[in-house]
């Protein structure tokens, strides 16, 4: 009841002031700032100013479940109790149910005074909860206050999630002052309502309202992270959706980061499909080449890069958009700042790019400003295969040797962590094993592998690989010869002996990215494949 009375008072005030001519051209953001100023509520005025400052960069896209051929929102049929999500996906297809998107609605043009004040009031209420009251105002603005998470359509999500999850916290959590404990409790409740489905991205990988998400139930990681972020913020738990670009799968993963604020001493991540993992744990270290945090604030450098290189990056412009994301890679992985010399011919450029090989091409993944004769890169992750590049018209051109950053903690000089792949030295013996159940009984096979040559290009190396057998009882391996099957051996792999330069990078024609490089074994002198 107190929410309704307070909201009604705000509506009356705003209706009065908006009827005066000086206010006709102002947006709801300016009017709400002035309302809290007139009330003498400094904190809420500053909160409204914060939202107004970045409002011009936000919009929502209404997305609706529809059935062919009638393009209108429908009362979604009861979800069948099926598992896994791929079955549910087939069910949606069989019912001709799909998702449509309407035109974007820009916040400064469409948001109302009532919506803004309601969100501010509810956000401040949740800030007073025992688990949130120690969160600073700065962190509150960033991780609890925003009225949207991305480009979802605006909805009454705060009240929706508060009524669904916040009412039972005090009676169910042993230590209500513990942010991690409260977050894990809320997550257990969320998992009853939504489930992670790896196939659902084929149906919808966009951001929906709570009602839309509840209708689907099954969502891919982005939808689950979005749902969790809104639910947690509505309950006063500071958090942000993050996008992790794994170095192994090449597929981004979305989850929720809970920063080290208030009573939470150490940042962790958690969402519907994950268990709680502290940021920077060994299983996370070195695992991503970039981690983005979705913010309400504008990242001016992102915006500049987006505007400057939109034509150059083409299909890769998503690397610099939206402009309301920030880099939190250093919280997730082992990273370093380092500088490299810039050729004379490129010193007049403002930026160089740190590129990594992906999907048969060099993809810019990090930018560095040129200062005089050097370029500096910040928060670059170790054990990635890098090469420098620069913008040239509508493309990015690479140059120079490839390199990686070593993770040896005993090396204190960052410049010594840079390992160049100089292929002009001695060659070493490397033995490549291939397993293929279809042809594993052939005594010999012609095999081809790909390696990065001294000319900085890919080359195919073909040779005859000999079949090797394995005895599961004795654990013995033996090269092909007649009669081995009668002795308990079975075909296991084909072995190709290759002599290649040290620090050669390998590429498999099936994979989208290189999977390792050669390093000499200190005892045998043979090449050992090291994974990136």
pLDDT at 252: 86
Non-local (6+) Cβ contacts of 218 within 8 A are 85, 88, 89, 194, 195, 196, 197, 200
Interaxial angle between packed helices 179-193 and 221-234, expressed in degrees from 0 to 180 and rounded to the nearest 10: 130
pLDDT at 83: 60
As a whole number of angstroms, the distance between CA 355 and CA 130 comes to 46
Taking CA atoms, 296 is separated from 143, 150, 363, 457, in Å, by 9, 8, 27, 42
Taking CA atoms, 240 is separated from 66, 124, 143, in Å, by 30, 18, 6
Q: Read off φ and ψ for residue 336, nearest 5 degrees.
A: -140, 155
DSSP lists the bridge partners of residue 506 as 451, 516
DSSP lists the bridge partners of residue 76 as none
As a whole number of angstroms, the distance between CA 462 and CA 495 comes to 12
pLDDT at 69: 58
Q: Which of 395, 344, 337, 400 lies closest to 366 in space, CA to CA?
A: 337
HEC per residue, 442-488: CCEEEEEEEEECCCCCEEEEEEEEEEEEEECCCCEEEECCCCCHHHC
Whether 287 contacts 246, CB under 8 Å? yes
| H helix intervals, 128-220 | 137-143, 157-165, 169-172, 179-193, 210-216
pLDDT at 532: 63
Interaxial angle between packed helices 28-39 and 113-127, expressed in degrees from 0 to 180 and rounded to the nearest 10: 50
**pLDDT tens-digit map of 159-183:** 999 999 999 999 999 999 999 999 9
DSSP run (H or E) holding 12: helix 2-18
DSSP lists the bridge partners of residue 228 as none
Whether 309 contacts 392, CB under 8 Å? no
As a whole number of angstroms, the distance between CA 385 and CA 247 comes to 10
Residue 61 burial by Cβ neighbours in a 10 Å radius (0-12, 13-18, 19+): middle
As a whole number of angstroms, the distance between CA 287 and CA 407 comes to 12
Q: Which of 243, 245, 330, 251 lies closest to 294 in space, CA to CA?
A: 243
Per-residue pLDDT of the chain (532 residues; tens, 9 = 90+): 333 334 333 333 333 333 343 444 789 999 999 999 999 999 999 999 999 999 999 999 998 877 765 544 445 555 555 566 777 777 777 777 777 888 999 999 999 999 999 999 999 999 999 999 999 999 999 999 999 999 999 999 999 999 999 999 999 999 999 999 999 999 999 999 998 887 777 777 889 899 888 888 888 999 999 999 999 999 999 999 999 988 777 778 999 999 999 999 999 999 998 889 999 887 776 678 899 999 999 999 889 888 888 777 766 666 777 899 999 999 988 888 999 999 999 999 999 999 988 777 888 889 999 999 999 999 999 888 899 999 988 888 999 999 988 876 677 777 788 888 877 777 888 887 877 766 678 899 888 888 888 888 888 888 899 999 999 999 999 999 999 999 999 998 888 888 887 777 877 665 556 666 777 777 877 777 666 6
pLDDT at 378: 94
pLDDT at 3: 34
Neighbours of 435 (CB within 10 A): 9
Which tokens go with 84? 């896994």
DSSP lists the bridge partners of residue 449 as 461
């Amino acid at each position: 009841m107190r929410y309704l009375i307070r909201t009604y008072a705000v509506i009356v005030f705003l209706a009065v002031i908006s009827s005066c001519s000086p206010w006709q051209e102002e947006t709801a953001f300016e009017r709400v700032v002035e309302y809290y100023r007139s009330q003498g509520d400094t904190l809420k005025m500053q909160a409204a100013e914060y939202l107004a400052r970045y409002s011009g960069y936000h919009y929502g896209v209404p997305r609706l479940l529809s059935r062919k051929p009638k393009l209108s929102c429908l009362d979604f049929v009861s979800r069948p109790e099926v598992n896994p999500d791929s079955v549910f996906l087939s069910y949606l297809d069989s019912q001709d149910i799909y998702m449509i998107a309407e035109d974007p609605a820009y916040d400064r043009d469409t948001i109302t005074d009532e919506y803004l004040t309601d969100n501010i009031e509810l956000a401040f209420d949740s800030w007073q909860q025992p688990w949130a009251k120690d969160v600073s105002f700065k962190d509150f603005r960033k991780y609890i206050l925003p009225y949207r998470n991305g480009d979802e359509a605006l909805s009454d999500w705060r009240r929706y999630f508060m009524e669904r999850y916040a009412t039972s916290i005090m009676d169910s959590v042993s230590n209500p002052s513990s942010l991690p404990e409260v977050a894990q409790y809320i997550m257990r409740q969320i998992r009853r309502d939504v489930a992670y489905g790896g196939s659902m991205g084929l149906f919808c990988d966009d951001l929906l309202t709570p009602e839309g998400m509840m209708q689907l139930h099954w969502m891919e990681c982005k939808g689950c992270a979005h749902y969790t972020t809104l639910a947690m913020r509505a309950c006063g738990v500071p958090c942000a959706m993050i996008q992790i670009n794994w170095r192994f799968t090449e597929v981004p993963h979305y989850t929720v980061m809970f920063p080290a604020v208030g009573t939470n001493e150490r940042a962790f991540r958690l969402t519907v499909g994950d268990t709680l993992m502290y940021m920077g744990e060994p299983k996370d270290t070195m695992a991503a080449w970039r981690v983005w945090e979705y913010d309400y604030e504008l990242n001016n450098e992102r915006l500049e890069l987006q505007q400057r290189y939109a034509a150059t990056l083409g299909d890769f412009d998503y690397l610099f958009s939206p402009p309301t994301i920030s880099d939190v890679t250093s919280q997730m992985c082992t990273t370093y700042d380092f500088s490299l010399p810039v050729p004379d011919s490129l010193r007049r450029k403002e930026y160089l790019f740190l590129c990594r090989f992906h999907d048969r091409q060099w993809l810019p993944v990090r930018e560095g400003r040129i200062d005089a004769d050097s370029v500096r890169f910040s928060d670059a992750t170790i054990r990635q295969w890098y090469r420098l590049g620069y913008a040239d018209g509508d493309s990015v051109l690479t140059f120079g040797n490839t390199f990686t950053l070593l993770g040896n903690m005993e090396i204190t000089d960052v410049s010594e962590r840079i390992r160049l792949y100089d292929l002009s030295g001695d060659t070493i013996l490397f033995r490549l094993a291939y397993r293929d159940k279809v042809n594993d009984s052939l005594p010999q096979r012609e095999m081809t592998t790909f390696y990065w040559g001294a000319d900085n290009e890919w080359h195919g190396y073909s040779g005859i690989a000999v079949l090797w057998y394995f005895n599961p009882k004795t654990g013995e391996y033996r090269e092909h010869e007649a009669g081995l099957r009668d002795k308990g051996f079975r075909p296991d792999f084909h072995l190709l002996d290759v002599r290649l330069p040290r620090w050669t990078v390998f590429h498999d024609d099936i994979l989208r990215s290189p999977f390792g490089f050669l390093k000499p074994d200190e005892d045998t002198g043979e090449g050992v494949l090291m994974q990136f």
